[in-house]
Structure 1
């Protein structure tokens, strides 16, 4: 009887795992030390291989090859001068949690029974987040990869809700009726979600926005749209912070409408939800606790590593949620919460312990820590906004409401120069911003959502 010999390179790495991880640790520490000065963009290119080595080269040489080949294209996207896409950084505690997530390598689903019950950690983290956002504990929450999958989860349950209002089971039988969707300025991830859910990316009845350079829902026009539906159920997608100008819909007014009309209320609060962390700005989300579902990104203002977001869906919709996501091999009997398993509450059957980085960061820095991060980011945004407002070269396209600055070059004659200016700006590798279009004008958007260290502030 013969046994298969282990690959020599793998065997060597297993014997030297401590030295290998030490080497990676030192490299990571060095990167983090210089993150504030790291290039924010690069014009480097890399030729990619199409063949695989037969026996491998081992972990040490692979790390060396990675550094030589790909190190030059890694930019400081988690650093304070990378102001594109509302990209967060990583707190020290969240890095601890992320490393341990990889090491422990759990498939997080169950909270009791035999085998992996690491979902207990996720449940506790969701409770910590509800406390951070001052939301009631009548939401079921879970971790997904990002706002797109959070919106997908929330609107997937909304789709099932609409079906049940019409006496249908869309999860089992498919969509057989039109689903009414109302929104003013939905994020692209919500539009993509409608496509993935079979509702249709074009199936949105647009609501007017408020006058006065706003992106928020005109409540009077919303009332007209609701009345025109003659009592038909619908999904309302609202914003806790629009992408360009971080505008907020009037959640108090919408709460009042929800008492009178039959609709599913979803809030996309990917990053704007963090206004709840600050006494100065939490009025912006007053009334949001009455929503049926909420999307929040953690890899933005919570400052944990990618990929991390949460969904919150009201517990009263738990049966609809399990009807939507129930694994065919894992039927439940009776109350789905009695034998809770994330397998039946969200899209993925295989899941990392995404909650652990968030748990570490929340426990390490608490409510005051996140208040500091949020208010510091807003302070930085206001400083840049004031500079642009005083400048003769630039023009603010909208007021600085929270942590985003939306601006352009002054003068209509310079509209065709905006993109060239942005390319040149990003090519300096000192800062990175993204292009946008706002009210028909080509613009530039800068987003602050990271912890600024003293060196950066000075």
Structure 2
């Protein structure tokens, strides 16, 4: 064994002790650590021929990189839809690295059994019927990709083809109907060879992101052959929900695969206030739900669910002889894109076991309360206007200045970021340059929402003259 490896093996406890100390420095500073920052491109170094030790690497990281980490796991990071990591989830994730299990086999380790237990917890959490098969994948993008791959296989079978064996060449393109699909749907369509142009955008309800059911039915009536419908259980900009029950009932009249993208909206099922939004979820043929969003477990972790386990086996079966018969050994590498799988289920098991349904319900409802309160402040402000009602945990708004451009919004949010207290991301809502506040961290309280509003207001007033000058210049030109 190399001398450095031998040295570090003998000093493993000391290495972990100092690693914990560095992690605690970050966790202890989360209330004051900037949630967003600009980091210039790193000047790349050459790989050393000789190493030094794990402790030296840790010290180098501490001195050169640690202070530049973004506090995206903190209570005032409102960009994208980013959770944090509950204490229990962090404990579970540290053990994942220590145990370093390849969570694919059925009985050679407890790891895949714990994954099955965790999936069972989730089915109860989201109100899914027992028939659903589920597994962990890296994130909503891969979960959506799995769901669309299953839908494509199902469509082939409706046409008398086995796409997993014969391929889909020479067969009519698979059409996808959706009103406000997440960008990962288009990405998945490209990866799967379905083609981005095969997305048919269905009309939404007035002033909504939810699908117009009548418009969807017209598209289904005109479809020549089976299609794939992607429904939204929580859109990114406004957390709008398609009427899942109404869409599901259309399956008795038309031939389509129903995929529900419930990446973070699925957690509406935890609360009696919002559970009605998930009514009809059991009509879904496949479902996407993220864990590293509202469950607040470390990246990366998401789940995919389907009613069609046999179809999933056809798509993902691994045919290597040494892996055995999937009917006798239903290992996850026969049902997921990966053969090598991190034990992603363990942090989710830890946090579900530690805090239960009630603890995670409290996070969801508190986040929604903070979002609603922030929305009311923005609505009453002379500087901002809401672009949509606050339905759950996302606030979509813009500046009242009618001449504001998307570049202005970016510049404004850069200034908000540089203030060092709160972080937002820009968006476009029905063509309007806008700002999103996505509140999904387990630590976020009302005081964080108040501070966010104060910073938004102060920075806007500081930038107001800049916007006015730009507006005057635009009008002159």
* TM-score class normalised by the smaller sequence: over 0.9
Matched, 1:53 2:48: yes
In 1, Cα distance between equivalents of 2:19 and 2:113: 30
Say whether the 8 Å CA contact 1:110–1:120 is kept in structure 2: no
Residue segments in structure 2 that go unaligned for 5+ positions in a row:
451-477
Per the alignment, residue 283 of structure 2 pairs with 290
SS at match of 1:202: helix
Distance apart, 1:36 and its partner CA: 2.1
Per the alignment, residue 225 of structure 1 pairs with 219
1:411 to 401, 413, 438: 401
1:122-161 aligned within 5 A: 122-161=115-154
Matched, 1:184 2:179: yes
Matched, 1:447 2:438: yes
More divergent stretch after superposition (43-52 vs 402-411)? 43-52
SS at match of 1:284: helix
Matched, 1:199 2:194: yes
2:371 to 355, 368, 381: 381
Per the alignment, residue 431 of structure 1 pairs with 422
1:75 to 65, 70, 78: 70
Per the alignment, residue 475 of structure 2 pairs with none
SS at match of 1:26: helix
- How many residue pairs match? The answer is 445
More divergent stretch after superposition (70-79 vs 237-246)? 70-79
In 1, Cα distance between equivalents of 2:376 and 2:223: 44
**Normalization by structure 1: what TM-score?**
0.94
Say whether the 8 Å CA contact 1:377–1:452 is kept in structure 2: no
1:221-260 aligned within 5 A: 221-230=215-224, 232-260=225-253
Distance apart, 1:48 and its partner CA: 3.3
In 1, Cα distance between equivalents of 2:63 and 2:306: 46
Distance 1:248 1:48, change over 3 A: same
Q: Deviations over 1:394-447 (max 9, x none)?
A: 111111111001111103123363222111111112111001001111011110
More divergent stretch after superposition (176-185 vs 409-418)? 409-418
1:7-406 aligned within 5 A: 7-45=2-40, 47-112=42-107, 115-176=108-169, 177=171, 178-211=173-206, 213-230=207-224, 232-314=225-307, 317-329=308-320, 336=326, 338-406=328-396
SS at match of 1:375: helix
Distance 1:244 1:455, change over 3 A: closer
In 1, Cα distance between equivalents of 2:226 and 2:442: 42
In 2, Cα distance between equivalents of 1:338 and 1:280: 43
SS at match of 1:36: coil
SS at match of 1:136: coil
In 1, Cα distance between equivalents of 2:324 and 2:306: 19
1:420 to 402, 411, 422: 411
SS at match of 1:386: helix
SS at match of 2:358: helix
SS at match of 2:385: strand
In 2, Cα distance between equivalents of 1:455 and 1:24: 32
In 2, Cα distance between equivalents of 1:85 and 1:437: 13
Per the alignment, residue 3 of structure 1 pairs with none
Say whether the 8 Å CA contact 2:104–2:341 is kept in structure 1: yes
In 1, Cα distance between equivalents of 2:263 and 2:62: 33
Say whether the 8 Å CA contact 2:213–2:246 is kept in structure 1: yes
Say whether the 8 Å CA contact 2:22–2:62 is kept in structure 1: no
Distance apart, 1:358 and its partner CA: 0.3
In 2, Cα distance between equivalents of 1:369 and 1:342: 30
More divergent stretch after superposition (129-138 vs 293-302)? 129-138
SS at match of 2:403: helix
Distance 1:312 1:246, change over 3 A: same
